[in-house]
Chain A
Amino acid sequence: EIVLTQSPDTLSLSPGETATLSCRASQSVSDSLAWYQQNPGQAPRLLIYDASKRAAGIPARFSGRGSGTDFILTISSLEPEDFAVYFCQHRGNWPPLTFGGGTKVDIK
Chain B
Amino acid sequence: QVQLVESGGGSVKPGGSLRLSCVASGFSFSDYYMTWIRQVPGKGLEWVSYISNTGSTMFYADSVKGRFTVSKDNAKKSLYLQMDSLRADDTAVYFCAVNLRYSYGYFDYWGQGALVTVSS
Q: A34-B106, A43-B110, A91-B106 are in contact. Are A56 and B101 (CB under 8 A)?
A: yes
B106 x A43 contact (CB < 8 A): no
Write the residues of chain A forming the contact surface with B, with a CB cutoff of 8 angstroms. 32, 34, 36, 42-46, 49-50, 55-56, 87, 89, 91-92, 94-102
Docked Cα-Cα span, A101 to B50, in Å, equals 21
B103 x A99 contact (CB < 8 A): no
Specify the chain B residue showing the minimal Cβ separation from A92: B105
A-B contact count (CB 8 A): 65
What are the nearest 10 A-B pairs in CB distance?
A91-B105, A43-B110, A97-B47, A95-B59, A99-B45, A49-B106, A46-B108, A34-B106, A101-B44, A49-B102
Q: Given A44-B45, A44-B110, A46-B106, output 20 extra A-B contacts at Cβ < 8 Å.
A: A32-B105, A36-B45, A42-B112, A43-B97, A44-B95, A45-B110, A49-B103, A49-B106, A50-B102, A55-B108, A87-B45, A89-B106, A91-B103, A95-B60, A96-B62, A97-B35, A97-B37, A100-B44, A102-B44, A102-B45
